[in-house]
């Protein structure tokens, strides 16, 4: 049985880790290099590093910060933000990233998914999707959730898979930062529609929320930020609770 993964997420702005609610009202959560090392030592299965203002500011991801994080951790490391070409990914992988996450750039030019998958393998390509439920339909948003598109979450996720994505990282903008739980109904539908792993993001507030997204949402991994950054949930305690509920995790 494949183990379920616990994935802390470092949202980076101006070189610092930040966290908000529903993608706004950001507050400082600490030094990303120090946090990454703590999570690596404390049982995280993977780490996601998102340079959240790179796309909006039309610049590349902070390569120097990626190098510093990679030197301090020994778990898989996904980097996203401002990635729009094969050369961008090559630079990040050489700096220590194991996988890359693409979002706005993939929607604007879907062929990028094909190109990255062909160049580096599907296992390296995570397509991140920020979507908001509006009048019952999940609408894909770009540029850190600021720009709505006409894309439907489920159609876009299927296209991303078919183009060569190795994983889908779905963030529910409705749930993000609320600590009311993940969007499990949408996650289960994604899982049923696709054959690649689904990472749940947005809404973690309690240990039970993680258990629910693995059981009800059928997620393969659960990503969270503030509950880990502000020590509301310790990863070791979370994994012990999940194991107690019969969920396979790496201890």
Domain boundaries, given as residue ranges, for the chain: 5-244
Q: What percent of the chain has pLDDT over 70?
A: 89
HSE, CB side, 13 Å, CA atoms: give it for residue 192.
Answer: 8
User: What residues have CB less than 8 Å from 116, skipping those under 6 apart?
Assistant: 86, 89, 100, 102, 124, 125, 164
The dihedral through the CA atoms of 30, 182, 242, 208 has a sign that is positive
Check residue 53 and give its pLDDT: 65
Closest CA to 175 of 212, 147, 201, 202: 202
Catalytically active residues, by annotation: 11, 130
Query: Per-residue pLDDT for 65 more than 80?
Result: yes
d(CA 202, CA 21): 9
Triad 230, 232, 238: Cα angle to 5°: 125
CATH number for 5-244: choose from 3.90.1150.30, 3.40.1160.10, 2.60.40.10, 3.20.20.70. Answer: 3.20.20.70
What average pLDDT does range 105-120 have in this prediction? 97
Q: What percent of the chain has pLDDT over 90?
A: 73
Question: What distance lies between CA 199 and its chain's CA centroid?
Answer: 7
What average pLDDT does range 90-96 have in this prediction? 94
d(CA 167, CA 13): 24
Is residue 56 very low, low, confident or very high in pLDDT (cuts 50, 70, 90)?
Answer: very low
The residues that bridge with 137 in the sheet, in sequence order, are 134
Is the pTM above the cut of 0.85?
yes
């Amino acid at each position: 049985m494949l183990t379920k993964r616990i994935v802390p997420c470092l949202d980076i702005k101006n070189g610092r880790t930040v966290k908000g609610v529903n993608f706004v009202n950001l507050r400082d959560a600490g030094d990303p290099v120090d946090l990454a090392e703590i999570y690596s030592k404390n049982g995280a299965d993977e780490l996601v590093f998102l340079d959240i203002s790179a796309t909006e500011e039309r610049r590349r991801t902070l390569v120097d910060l990626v190098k510093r994080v990679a030197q301090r951790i020994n778990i898989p490391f996904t980097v996203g933000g401002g990635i729009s070409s094969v050369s961008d990914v090559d630079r990040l992988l050489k700096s220590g990233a194991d996988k890359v996450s693409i979002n706005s750039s993939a929607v604007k030019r879907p062929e990028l998914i094909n190109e990255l998958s062909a160049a580096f393998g599907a296992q390296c390509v995570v397509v991140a999707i920020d979507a908001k439920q509006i009048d019952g339909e999940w609408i894909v948003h770009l540029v850190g959730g600021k720009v709505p598109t006409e894309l439907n979450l489920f159609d876009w996720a299927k296209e991303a898979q078919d183009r060569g994505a190795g994983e889908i990282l779905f963030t529910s903008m409705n749930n993000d930062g609320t600590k009311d739980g993940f969007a499990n109904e949408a996650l289960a539908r994604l899982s049923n529609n696709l054959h690649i792993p689904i990472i749940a993001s947005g809404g973690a507030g309690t240990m039970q929320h993680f258990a629910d997204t693995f059981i009800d949402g059928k997620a393969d991994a659960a990503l969270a930020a503030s509950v880990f950054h502000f020590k509301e949930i310790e990863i070791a305690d979370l994994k012990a609770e999940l194991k107690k509920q019969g969920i396979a995790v790496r201890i």
